[in-house]
Amino acid sequence: MTLGSRVSGISVASRRDDVTRRLIHAIAGPLTVDAVVTRIERQAVEGTWTYASLIDMRAVTAWLSADDVVRVTDRARVIARELGPRGPVAIVVSHPALIPVGQAYAVMPHDAGAVGFFRDPACATRWLECQQAHGPVAPRD
């Protein structure tokens, strides 16, 4: 199933694969806390909380601040307390400088689920497959 939406300048194309239990999102435009929280809450409501997510953010033009990331993580934690850990999330970014920032977030202690940051979509996909098959594996790119 493929869906598309545009909210506050951000464009999201989404595909849901129930066979592989994976969500694929391509996001373009300025990233906002509201857009990210809405996407997380939608995943919980639609019964796909434990699905793996591949999120392509190579076309994102503005990023969340550190405080915004904490707000998003806090919301995911609240949902995870009710539903259990979220499925693994692989985020693909284009700018190499964002990888260390993403890895710092990925290794922050949080119980919402595993998050990996990658430059290469194929590496992100392999990491998700490993996560789904064998449980948490540290991201490498």
Domain ranges of the chain: 2-134
Tracing tokens 């497959």 back to the chain, one arrives at: 129
CATH for the 2-134 domain, from 3.20.20.70, 3.30.750.24, 3.20.10.10, 1.20.1250.20? 3.30.750.24
Convert the pLDDT of each residue in 100-113 to its tens digit: 666 666 655 457 78
Angle among Cα 29, 35, 40 to the nearest 5 degrees reads: 130
Convert the pLDDT of each residue in 40-75 to its tens digit: 999 999 999 999 999 999 999 888 888 898 899 899
Cα–Cα dist 60/104, whole Å: 19
Query: What's the pLDDT score for residue 70?
Result: 86
Cα–Cα dist 55/43, whole Å: 13
Torsion over CA: 137, 18, 8, 79 (sign)? negative
Q: What confidence tier does 114 reach under pLDDT thresholds 50, 70, 90? A: confident
Q: Where are the beta strands (DSSP E) in the chain?
A: 2-7, 10-17, 22-30, 52-62, 89-92, 115-118
Convert the pLDDT of each residue in 128-141 to its tens digit: 999 899 876 555 55
Cα–Cα dist 58/65, whole Å: 17
Q: What is the mean pLDDT of the chain?
A: 84
